[in-house]
Structure 1
Amino acid sequence: MGRPLRADAARSVRAILEAAEQVLAQDPGASMEQIAEQAGVARTTVHRRFANRQALIEALAASAKRQLLEAVEDAHMDTAPPLVALHRGTANVLRTKSVWRFTLGHPLADTPLTEVIWSEINAGVLEFFARAQHEGLLAPDTDLLWARRVYYALVDEAQHGGGAGLDPEQVRQNADALATLIVDTFLRGMGPHG
């Protein structure tokens, strides 16, 4: 890995990544020039930081997956009461995913680094579900791999609204309410019965 960027270079990279997410979410075929314009930087600055479009998409993916991991970690899934951690983690993930709609849904953004981060997220969620099961939040006979798949599907459904295309700002503003709906739905199917 190269040396750390100077503060001004780091700011321009952050501006380029934020602009790229916005522009590509509106037009997946947008040019590097359009991204530079949205970021308020010269086209040469974008090309200096990112050799090509794929390099930019890979940088977007790494940034998005790191923020998704931070959102999960911020829920303190290993120490907070399971119901609190589940709700907080869900709301955090919804907020993060609403910012990175293009990148987190783009198959070309998968790289060895993002696969490592995603594996860490998956393993953490599975460990959390095992703890939640041990502490009685999930039924003793719950298939935890299936529970994780169902949970992810519920988050995705809340994010995209069954094709209704919820506005990212609506998702951010309503993340707590959506998290409550997801957690309630999830626990009715996976929680203790009877």
Structure 2
Amino acid sequence: MTSTPARPLRADAERTVRTILEAAERVLNRNPSASMEEIASAAGVARTTVHRRFATREALVTTMKSWASTQLASAVDEARFETAPPLVALYQATANALQVKLSWGFSMNSALAASSESDEIMGGVVASCDRLFARLQKAGVLRADVDLIWVRRVYYALLHEVAQSSDPDETDTDTLATQVVDTLLRGVGSPNAQL
């Protein structure tokens, strides 16, 4: 027996799913125990519409996590890690990642959903970051003796802390990105690193 691949959603159905995901992010970010009915109300759709798209709350949260991971991967790709000067790519990736993390905070930090899809997407993001940090080290921006995995962990911790402590509606991601990059490089940067 062969399985038929899932058909792509029509444009209107795709918009509805995105509306539900965005509403769920807002609602669950404020109240993690909010009901599917509250999410439907915030999305401006009937509860049955939410249940038609997401059979369970867990399915909704899993989809939210995958959606947010995809947004983060796209944001990182837009920083052109492979071709932009390494410091420019680091700054742009930081600003882009903060924008996603601030917009999709519940989804990015949800331990409620196990998703091999989001894990795979995030594995690609980690690999891209590792390549960027290797480029930064080769360019002399990071000291030669610094453990790059440790640098990535510190960088992720900085991103996480900034995203957790910032109000998404009142935040200038460019200023925050500058603070993150400055903090990272002054801690592990070579003395001649220029910002």
TM bucket, shorter chain:
over 0.9
CA apart distance, 1:154: 1.0
Partner of 2:153: 149
Q: CA RMSD in A?
A: 1.1
Of 102-111 and 80-89, deviating more is 102-111
Alignment match, 1:189:
187
Summarize the alignment of residues 10-159 of structure 1 with structure 2, pairs less than 5 Å apart.
10-159=14-163
SS in 2 for 1:139: coil
Shift of 1:160: 2.0
Unaligned runs of 5+ in 2: none
- Return the offset for 1:135: 1.2
Instruction: Give identity over the alignment, percent.
Output: 52
Q: Equivalents in 2 of 1:120, 1:159: separation in Å?
A: 21
Deviation, structure 1 residue 158: 1.6
Tell whether 2:158 aligns with 1:160: no
Question: Within 1, Cα distance between the matches of 2:161 and 2:102?
Answer: 12
When normalised by structure 2's length, the TM-score is 0.93
Q: Deviations over 1:19-67 (max 9, x none)?
A: 1001101111111111111101111111110111000001101100000
Q: What is the CA–CA distance in structure 2 between the aligned matches of 1:179 and 1:110, rounded to whole Å?
A: 29
Q: Residue type of the partner of 1:81?
A: P
The one-letter code of the counterpart of 2:170 is Q
CA distance in 2, matches of 1:23, 1:49: 17
In 1, Cα distance between equivalents of 2:12 and 2:182: 45
The secondary structure found in structure 2 opposite 1:78 is coil
How big is the shift at 1:190? Answer: 1.3
Equivalent AA in structure 1 for residue 6 of structure 2: G
Q: Give the Cα–Cα distance (whole angstroms) in 2 for the partners of residues 44 and 160 of structure 1.
A: 33
Distance 1:53 1:110 in 2: 13
TM-score between the two structures when normalised by the length of structure 1: 0.94
Helix, strand or coil at the partner of 1:108: coil
The one-letter amino acid of 1:182's match is: V
Give the residue type in structure 1 aligned to 2:174: D
* Separation of aligned partners in 1, 2:156 and 2:189: 16
Q: How far, CA to CA, are the matches of 1:158 and 1:52 in structure 2? A: 32
